[in-house]
Amino acid sequence: MNTPPTAPPATNGTTRRPTEGELEHQRAAIAALGHELRALVDATVRTSAPAEALHRVADGVRRITGQLTGRRRERAEIPAVDEFPGGTRMYSPVTGAGSPLAPPMRVTPADGGLIGRCTLGFAHEGPPGYVHGGMSAMLLDELMGRACAAAGMPGMTVSLQVRYHRPVPLETPLRVHARVTGTEGRKIFVDGSISTEGEPSTTVVTADGVFVTPDPDRTRALFPSLRGTV
């Protein structure tokens, strides 16, 4: 594998691949900031603070943003801390420990597929007290895509059918399940479901999807940052 284009500049002005220890140090800091931002997001969407207090907090947030100086990655650039396809995505809006948007869902292999565990808060609310229907689709799409990668066929979603049997409660530990059920050429068929940890045998949302593994030419065209690695 060539040196990825996203490696940080070394002190001598050239680029070099960071060591695994440096990457872990950086990932821990990214996760720590992600954790604090998720707490701020939750406080923000639940507060009853008056307008004047919210304006003061907004000023404070603007000052903090100003502290994140330095280069910002460009569109399609893969962060040096990430492994793509099939590995760590620090800023994934579903699983990323560094994402202020992610629950984040923790993924483990199980039952011939993958299990994802998370609890969704007020920031992910749709109908009052319940998870946004689109957020359930997002958990399923992510885990079903990861199930393809875990089965050795990283793929992109071609179609996703989601069935909502009952509302998904907020602030309740959830268990998501995804499993590859078959393949046909580059197509991968995947099933998914969501239940609560309290009643794991009662599915509240089910899904089936079709994913496709792009051929090498298409992969290079879609992901120019991967040049030299595929």
CB of 19 to a copy of itself, least distance (A): 13
Q: Which of 5, 15, 17, 84 binds a copy of itself (CB under 8 A)?
A: 84
Structure tokens at 10: 């070394």
Residue type, 25: H
* Residue 36 in the binding site for a copy of itself (CB under 8 A): yes
> Could you give the CA distance from residue 192 to residue 208 in angstroms, rounded to a whole number?
6
* Residue 130 in the binding site for a copy of itself (CB under 8 A): yes
Asked if 170 contacts 122 with a C-beta cutoff of 8 angstroms, the reply is yes
Stretch that binds a copy of itself, among 11-19, 42-50, 110-118, 190-198 (CB under 8 A): 42-50
C-alpha dist (Å) from residue 144 to 45, 139, 157: 29, 9, 9
* Residue 128 in the binding site for a copy of itself (CB under 8 A): yes
**184-213 residues near a copy of itself, rule: CB under 8 A:** none
**133-162 residues near a copy of itself, rule: CB under 8 A:** 133-135, 137-142, 145, 156-162
Torsion of CA 198, 203, 208, 211, to 10 degrees: 0
**98-127 residues near a copy of itself, rule: CB under 8 A:** 98-101, 122-127
